[in-house]
Structure 1
Amino acid sequence: MTEVRREPILRIMPGHADINANGHIFGGWVLSQMDMAAGIVARLHSGGPVATVAIDRMEFITPIHLRDLISVYAEVESVGRTSMKVRIEVMAWRNSGAIRVKVTEGLFTFVAIDDQARPRAVAGLPKSEK
């Protein structure tokens, strides 16, 4: 992702119920946040409902701690006829924002779907980006 100033799609702080036996945040919790953020971006880009069909790549770089504020960034990387690849990056803000750490990243594939959950053509860019 580019280094220009950008706004997160999601910003959340994990709670005590999200801790694993090692005292870090569950990987599944992080994956869920990434999927939600990427789904928002894919839906906006495609002009309608989408479904996650693949996680092409996912890398846990460093653990997330209990009091980290998590920012999830996502952007469409490529578009096919019915599918989109969305790149996701998760940053943790530690010590009241004094430290910023990249904790995970991934590449998810979404398919645009119709009312019967069948693939449909991607509508294109949202009106705000045309």
Structure 2
Amino acid sequence: MPDRTPQIRVTAMPTDLNPYGGVFGGWLMSQMALGAGALASREGEGKAVVVSATDFAFPGAMAVGDELSVYCSIAGTGQTSVTILAEGIARERHGEATRKVASGTFKFVLLDDEGRPRAVKSEGLRTR
């Protein structure tokens, strides 16, 4: 795995499982949205709300107790929007083995204090 810092890191718990005993894909998507939102708000220097989520894939499975790290990067910007790529990497509970379990793309719109879309400061956001 490349040397990079996750936006968030969380452990899958029994309440995060689907009826078949695997980690629920919706839980994975929500964790990725939280990580992507943290990056959008920090880099956008304010409120950012998700307006779309696309291109989801779940190439691996997680078990209860596995640790999920969510890595995000800015893929592009619009006049008021930021597009972020998110990747979920699971680490087994009692070891160091990792595997990609999810990926997706989120688009956020930056909002002002009145809740209206505001312009992206081009010098403030770094595409990575």
TM exceeding 0.5: yes
2:108 to 107, 110, 114: 110
C-alpha contact 2:10 2:67 (8 A) present in aligned 1? yes
Mapping of residues 1-80 of structure 1, within 5 Å: 4-80=2-78
Mapping of residues 87-98 of structure 1, within 5 Å: 87-98=85-96
C-alpha contact 2:66 2:90 (8 A) present in aligned 1? yes
- Give percent identity, aligned residues only: 34
C-alpha contact 2:67 2:93 (8 A) present in aligned 1? no
C-alpha contact 1:89 1:104 (8 A) present in aligned 2? yes
Structure 1 runs, 4 residues or longer, greater than 6 Å off: none
| Deviation, structure 1 residue 4 | 4.0
Counting matched residue pairs gives: 125
Question: What per-residue deviation string (whole Å, max 9, x for no partner) do you get for residues 56-106 of structure 1?
Answer: 211111221102111100111101110011000000001533311000001
List gaps (5 residues or longer) in structure 2: none
Q: Pick closer, same or farther for the CA change 1:24–1:88 going to 2, 3 Å.
A: same
Computed over aligned residues only, the root mean square deviation of the Cα atoms, in angstroms, reads 1.6
C-alpha contact 1:47 1:124 (8 A) present in aligned 2? no
Structure 2: distance between partners of 1:10 and 1:17: 19
Aligned partner letter, 2:89: M
The question of 1:119 aligning with 2:117 is answered yes
Structure 2: distance between partners of 1:5 and 1:36: 21
Question: What per-residue deviation string (whole Å, max 9, x for no partner) do you get for residues 30-67 of structure 1?
Answer: 11111110001011111110000001211111221102
